[in-house]
């Protein structure tokens, strides 16, 4: 009795990881063929971190190998074997703690005058990164250094809904440390940026979410913050408002500040940012030119939304291979104290 092996192609027998590696090799071979005059075969691995000297006078923020892990209650394992009392306790308290890795080993440097966009799919770690940058939470490991206290602007920023927009402007400026005289001097600029001249006497509870976010942006940028963080606050408003916000952000950067903009609107990111950081699954995939990073992100999300998991993974790995890792090293005696 004889047996025969079905004629199965090599790509059918290969594992998923092998296919992804093969697709990556094909893409890089097509795009880089003839680029190496020596014809050497370079492995598909990330480059070794290179230490470069940075002017400390030009620094605005440094993220040094920061990771964030949350510990949450886990209810798994309640039906495992054990005594009746032990099973009852597990049902009440959970079987123990589970670790959720929100961010893993992020390192980057932001200089004065930069406008940095932060993109990523839902649950990728963008909001956690904003919490680290503002100092609301400390990283589980690593450090975050800033030359001044960052000002956070988001659609959930607190404003008093029962009073008018005019009074919210006054209270907001006073809360940020401006004197009544400085508030009066900034009032016209705030109104102009917000574009809410006809609605200032109305209670804030009558404002739409877009109107509220425009007012928040105008108030937050009235103090010329050294570091400004904006979380989804510029996705509303017409073209005129976006033009005014871009002009104001340019002024903030010109005054030796840095701006972080978190948004799902790639058009806003491309228009207003000089650099884009892409975070996915808690890891930094890209940090560079807005046009290139956004194009990779669009291709990745297109594959994912259409169920093309392997194609999305190829884009993921391809983008990660282009990332130049950063290693932060302080000169002797220059590391900031905690």
Q: How far apart are CA 216 and CA 207, in angstroms?
A: 12
- What does the alpha-carbon distance between residue 51 and residue 260 come to, in Å, rounded to a whole number? 24
Confidence of residue 163 (pLDDT cuts 50, 70, 90): very high
Q: What is the mean pLDDT of the chain?
A: 79
pTM (2 d.p.):
0.73
The structure tokens listed for 302 are 């297109």
Tokens of 133: 């940058």
- Give the pLDDT band of residue 209 (cuts 50, 70, 90): confident
Are 62 and 132 in contact by the 8 Å Cβ rule? The answer is no
Q: What is the pLDDT of residues 99-151, one digit of tens each?
A: 888 999 999 999 988 999 999 999 899 989 999 998 889 999 999 999 888 88
Q: How many Å apart are CA 68 and CA 129, to the nearest integer?
A: 9
Which of these, 320, 235, 311, lies nearest to 282 by C-alpha position?
A: 320
pLDDT for 226: 84
Asked if the model's pLDDT at residue 52 lies above 90, the reply is no
Q: Are the beta carbons of 76 and 95 closer than 8 angstroms?
A: yes
pLDDT > 90: percent of the chain: 36
Q: Tell which wins on pLDDT, 47 or 44.
A: 47
Q: What does the pLDDT read at residue 66?
A: 94
Main-chain dihedrals φ then ψ at residue 281, nearest 5 degrees: 55, 35
- 126: tokens are 């963008």
Q: ∠ CA(229), CA(234), CA(240), 5° rounding?
A: 130
- Per-residue DSSP letter, 203: B
The pLDDT score that the predictor gives to residue 56 is 76
Q: How far apart are CA 165 and CA 254, in angstroms?
A: 28
| Tokens representing residue 253 in the block | 């950067």
- What ranges in 56-179 are assigned the alpha helix state H? 84-93, 126-134, 165-175
- Predicted pLDDT of residue 276: 97
CA atoms of 274 and 288, how far apart (whole Å): 8
- How do strand 115-119 and strand 258-262 relate by DSSP bridges? parallel
- pLDDT at res. 15: 62
Ramachandran category for residue 153: left, alpha or beta (phi over 0 → left; psi -120 to 50 → alpha):
beta
Segment (H or E) for 319: helix 309-321
**72-103 tens-digit pLDDT:** 776 654 445 456 666 666 666 555 667 888 99
Check pLDDT > 50 for residue 183: yes
Burial 308-325 (b: 16+ CB within 10 A, else e): eeebbbbbbbbbeeebee
Joined together, the tokens standing for residue 77 give 């394992």
Q: Give the pLDDT band of residue 3 (cuts 50, 70, 90).
A: very low
């Amino acid at each position: 009795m004889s047996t025969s092996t079905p004629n199965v192609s090599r790509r059918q027998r290969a594992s998923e990881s092998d296919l992804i590696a093969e697709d990556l090799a094909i893409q890089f071979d097509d795009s880089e063929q003839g680029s190496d005059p020596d014809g050497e075969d370079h492995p598909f691995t990330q480059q070794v971190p290179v230490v470069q000297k940075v002017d400390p006078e030009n620094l605005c923020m440094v993220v040094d190998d920061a990771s964030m892990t949350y510990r949450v209650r886990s209810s798994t394992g309640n039906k495992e074997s054990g005594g009746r009392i032990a099973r009852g306790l597990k049902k009440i308290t959970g079987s123990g703690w589970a670790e959720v890795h929100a961010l893993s080993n992020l390192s980057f440097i932001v200089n004065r005058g930069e406008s940095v966009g932060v993109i990523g799919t839902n649950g990728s770690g963008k909001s956690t990164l904003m919490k680290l940058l503002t100092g609301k939470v400390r990283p589980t490991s690593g450090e975050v250094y800033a030359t001044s206290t960052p000002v956070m602007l988001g659609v959930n920023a607190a404003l008093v809904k029962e009073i008018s927009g005019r009074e919210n402007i006054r209270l907001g400026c006073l809360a940020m440390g401006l004197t009544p005289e400085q508030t009066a001097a900034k009032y016209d600029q705030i109104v102009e940026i917000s574009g809410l001249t006809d609605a200032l006497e109305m209670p804030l509870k009558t404002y739409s979410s877009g109107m509220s976010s425009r007012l928040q942006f105008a108030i937050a940028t009235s103090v010329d913050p050294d570091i400004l963080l904006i979380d989804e606050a510029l996705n509303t408003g017409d073209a005129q408002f976006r033009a005014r916000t871009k002009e104001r952000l340019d002024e903030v950067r010109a005054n030796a500040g840095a701006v972080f903009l978190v948004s799902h609107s790639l058009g806003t990111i491309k228009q207003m940012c000089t650099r884009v950081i892409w975070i996915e699954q808690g890891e930094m995939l890209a940090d560079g030119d807005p046009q290139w990073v956004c194009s990779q992100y669009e291709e990745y999300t297109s594959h994912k939304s259409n169920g093309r998991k392997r194609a999305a993974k190829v884009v993921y790995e391809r983008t990660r291979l282009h990332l130049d890792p950063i290693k932060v090293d302080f000169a002797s005696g220059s590391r900031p104290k905690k």
